[in-house]
Structure formats: structure tokens, C-alpha cells
């Protein structure tokens, strides 16, 4: 007897009228019009059943702190970092846990069931580390939360940061982070990449650096990250996050760089909502978009994900945990408007992001975890267009969240009243 049988679902790969069978938290069959006894059945009504959304880049220690202790006036990355520095001494573990758990509730409602969050380790107390380890433990039944030890103020620039980072890893933080462009000099930035990659290799961990989050075309730490990844055999385990300086780099240099990144099997994470708002702030007109070269990276075979990065914090005043909003912005900023490119944008917040995190058993194939979201849309492109309603969210075959179908009653003069929805 199956635990759950879903009928009449469209799948992201274009198959329609599919059934998905679940037993003991796993997908045991995916087939057209399957008939089998099940404890629970669900008619998907031709809507899109997708693996859950995955956010490959977030800051859960800062989320929902907007306005504390004040608002970012210039809108720049650097004022955001300064503002976070003002907020840090005022943080309590209780407040951090409360805000992070509130965000996790939002995430579940949006079908976002895996998040890689950076956690600032430039704090002797490691308050945020302890808070997010506690959150990770509490949300484990419904969200895969992966933590990155992130030296926000620079691992070499800040006294004690390296020791704090190592202590965070000892406590159970999963991934080694860094911020080479924030070190005092380019040489120090490169040295930090080398040091942190060596630390990751020693401990058998993944690496995810905030890398070249700048409009400066000479910020080239991703080159060192690709080199160290290659040298230390970290292929497929290292991620360059942001990479916004690539937007402004010389095309000839980028043609060499992208090949090096591909060789190292580096993952790339762009954060469209944040890149489009933080970058280009020193520009007059024309203003640069600041996002990294997503279509070119994808064309070279590099795995690219889109991250949310920030929600209501010192860097960004908006956001709601909606990865379709993130992908929608990424699509626009990168001008990825062909059918194939729009589908790639959907992948950037699902399968590609899962690859960045190294999630196992993710997807809609037999043997995968029965984690999925039913969207009020027929296919990935429509899901993006509508930032589709999440009708049902499942984890290991268990219902976590559900929403009523969205519709509008129209009362137009001279026409019969009717119910309408934007995809009718």
C-alpha cells in the first residue's frame, strides 16, 4: 500500500498527466496514469509538481532585522556591512533564533525546503553560530539548513577571525566561507582564498566564498578560487558567490577566466535581487546591472544557481522567501527570455541550487526523497510569470503547507459575473 499517490501532474521536464507514488518518504514510481492502492491520493489537476525550491545563498543571522538599529541610507554594500557591525553587539541569541524561525515558516509556505545560509563568525561569542545551529536542529524535520562559516569583516583583516571560523567548524558548521574582496589588499584577498581552501581540503568540507562582490573589474579573486580548487582537488565542492565584478571585467580576460572556472567545476551563485540593487551605486548613467555573466557561465557548462541572499536586513528592505521572485528578477537582469533560458532560470532555484548544496536524493525520480511543491501553474515558465501560488508543499510525503487556489471574481458591466485567473 502506497502512502501517497499524486495523479494528473505536470512535471518540470514537460511530461504531463503523470502520477507520482510515495512510500516511506521516498518516490517509488513516476509513471503515466498509475493505478495502485494508496492511503492518500491527490488530484494535481494538471498543475506543475516540482521538486522544492532551494536557496543556495542566504544570511539567516541578519534576516528580518530591517530598521535595526537604523535603515541603510546609501543602499550600498559597504553601508550594509557597517550597519550590520552596529547591530551585532545588540543581538541576542533568543532574538536571532526567533527571527530565523519566523523566516523558516515563510520559506516552508513558499515551498523553499533547503537553504544554505552564511553565518557571521567575526564575533568572539559566536552568538549567531550557536543560534543558527539551534535553528538547524529545530527545523531539521522540514528544512535542510546548511551553514557556512562566514568571516564578514575579513578572515585576515579581523583579529581572531580565523580562530573563530575554526571554532565554528568544530561546533558543526558545514561549509568554509570567505570574503576576499573585503580584505585590506588584493594580495591579502588572494592569501585568504588560499588559506580557506586549504582549511576546507584539510577538513573535507565544501567552500563557498563571497567573491568579488564589487563593480571593480580588477577584483579577480574568482581566478584564485578556481586555481586553488583545482590545486587542492576540490572539484565540484567550491562555489563562487556573487561574482559581480565579472559583469564589469574585460571580455578577453573573462574568456580565459570562464574556462578556468569550468575546469575547476566551480559552482557560481548570482543573487539577482541584491546584485541589481547594491551594484552600480557609484555609477552615473548608464548604470551597470552588476550581476555576473549567467548565460555565458551556463554555456560553458558551469552550474549556476540564483540565491535570495537577503530578506529585510541591513542590505535589502524587501523579500519574502519566494525563490520564483528571485528567478524572475534573474531572468530579467540577464535577459534570459528564450523558452530554454527561462527554464534555466527555474532550474537555478531548484536543481542547480541543490547541486551547489550537494543535496542527496533531490528530484522527482524514483528513489528520490518525496519532497515537492505543487504550483498553481502549468509549467516552469508560467510559474515564473505568475510567481505561482504554492498549493501544496510536501516533505517526505507529508503535507507541510497548503494554500487555496487563487482566483478573482470579476463583476464587469454588461458581462456575466465570472471567476478568472491569469492563466485561463
Give the interface with Fe ion as residue ranges (CB under 5 A).
309
Q: Which is nearer to Fe ion, 309 or 379 (CB)?
A: 309
Cis peptide before 286 (omega within 30 of 0): yes
Look at residues 46, 1, 9, 14 and name the one whose alpha carbon lies nearest to residue 394: 9
What are the beta bridge partners of residue 146? Answer: 116
Least Cβ distance, residue 271 to Fe ion (angstroms) = 6
CA 15 to chain centre: 26
How many other CB atoms are there within 10 angstroms of residue 417's CB atom?
8
Q: Is 402 a catalytic residue?
A: no
- Please identify, using beta-carbon distances, which residue of 91 and 311 lies nearer to Fe ion: 311
C-beta closer to Fe ion: residue 44 or 211: 211
Helix (H, G, I), strand (E, B) or coil at 145: strand
Query: Least distance to Fe ion from the beta carbon of 210, Å?
Result: 5
The residue among 183 and 309 lying less far from Fe ion, judged by its C-beta, is 309
**30 in Cβ contact with 372 (< 8 Å):** no
CA distance 15 to 33: 12
> Residue 347, preceding bond cis, omega within 30 degrees?
no
Strand bridging mode 41-43 / 48-50: unpaired
Exposure string for 50-67, b = 16+ CB within 10 A, e = fewer: bbbbbbbbbbbbbbbbbe
Measure Cα distances from 86 to 55, 70, 127, 314 in Å.
27, 9, 15, 10
Cell digits for 17? Answer: 498527466
Report the chain's terminal Cα–Cα distance, integer Å: 37
Query: By beta-carbon distance, which residue lies closest to Fe ion?
Result: 309
Nearest CB to Fe ion, comparing residues 74 and 255: 74
Which of 79, 86, 187, 213 is an active site residue? 213
Q: Which helix (H) or strand (E) holds 57?
A: strand 53-58
Pick between residue 25 and residue 75 the one whose CB is nearest to Fe ion: 75
C-alpha cell of residue 214: 564589487
Q: Which of 116, 355, 334, 153 is nearest to 246 (CA)?
A: 334
- Which active-site residues does the annotation give? 213
Amino acid at each position: 500500500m502506497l502512502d501517497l499517490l499524486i495523479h494528473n501532474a505536470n512535471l518540470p521536464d514537460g511530461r504531463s498527466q503523470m502520477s507520482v507514488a510515495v512510500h516511506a518518504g521516498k518516490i517509488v514510481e513516476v509513471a503515466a496514469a498509475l493505478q495502485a492502492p494508496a492511503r492518500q491520493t491527490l488530484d494535481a489537476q494538471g498543475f506543475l509538481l516540482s521538486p522544492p525550491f532551494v536557496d543556495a545563498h542566504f544570511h539567516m543571522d541578519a534576516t528580518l532585522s530591517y530598521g535595526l538599529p537604523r535603515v541603510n541610507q546609501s543602499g550600498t554594500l559597504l553601508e550594509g556591512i557597517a550597519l550590520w557591525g552596529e547591530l551585532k553587539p545588540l543581538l541576542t541569541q533568543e532574538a536571532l533564533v526567533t527571527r530565523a524561525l519566523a523566516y523558516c515558516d515563510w520559506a516552508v509556505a513558499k515551498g523553499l525546503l533547503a537553504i544554505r545560509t552564511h553565518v557571521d563568525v567575526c564575533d568572539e561569542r559566536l552568538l549567531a553560530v550557536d543560534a543558527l545551529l539551534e535553528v538547524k536542529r529545530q527545523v531539521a524535520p522540514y528544512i535542510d539548513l546548511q551553514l557556512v562559516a562566514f568571516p564578514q569583516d575579513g578572515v585576515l583583516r579581523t583579529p581572531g577571525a580565523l580562530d573563530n571560523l575554526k571554532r565554528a567548524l568544530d561546533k558543526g558548521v558545514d561549509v568554509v566561507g570567505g570574503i576576499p574582496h573585503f580584505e585590506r589588499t588584493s594580495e591579502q584577498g588572494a592569501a585568504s582564498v588560499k588559506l580557506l581552501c586549504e582549511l576546507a581540503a584539510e577538513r573535507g568540507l565544501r567552500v563557498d566564498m563571497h567573491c568579488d562582490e564589487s563593480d571593480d573589474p580588477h577584483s579577480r579573486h574568482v581566478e584564485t578560487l578556481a586555481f586553488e580548487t583545482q590545486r587542492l582537488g576540490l572539484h565540484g565542492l567550491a562555489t563562487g558567490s556573487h561574482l559581480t565584478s565579472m559583469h564589469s571585467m574585460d571580455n578577453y580576460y573573462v574568456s580565459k577566466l570562464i574556462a578556468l572556472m569550468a575546469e575547476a567545476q566551480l559552482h557560481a551563485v548570482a543573487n539577482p535581487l541584491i546584485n541589481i540593487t547594491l551594484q552600480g551605486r557609484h555609477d552615473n548613467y548608464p548604470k551597470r546591472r552588476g550581476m555576473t555573466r549567467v548565460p555565458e557561465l551556463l554555456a560553458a557548462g558551469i552550474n549556476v544557481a540564483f540565491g535570495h541572499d537577503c530578506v529585510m536586513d541591513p542590505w535589502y528592505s524587501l523579500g519574502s522567501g519566494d525563490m520564483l521572485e528571485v528567478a524572475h528578477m534573474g531572468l530579467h537582469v540577464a535577459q534570459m527570455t528564450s523558452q530554454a533560458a527561462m527554464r534555466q532560470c527555474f532550474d537555478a532555484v531548484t536543481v542547480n541550487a541543490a547541486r551547489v548544496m550537494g543535496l542527496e536524493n533531490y528530484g522527482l525520480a524514483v528513489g528520490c526523497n518525496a519532497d515537492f511543491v505543487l504550483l498553481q501553474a502549468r509549467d516552469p515558465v508560467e510559474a515564473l510569470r505568475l510567481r505561482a501560488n504554492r498549493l501544496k508543499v510536501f516533505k517526505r510525503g507529508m503535507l507541510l503547507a497548503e494554500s487555496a487556489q487563487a482566483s478573482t471574481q470579476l463583476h464587469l458591466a454588461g458581462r456575466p459575473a465570472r471567476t478568472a485567473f491569469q492563466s485561463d
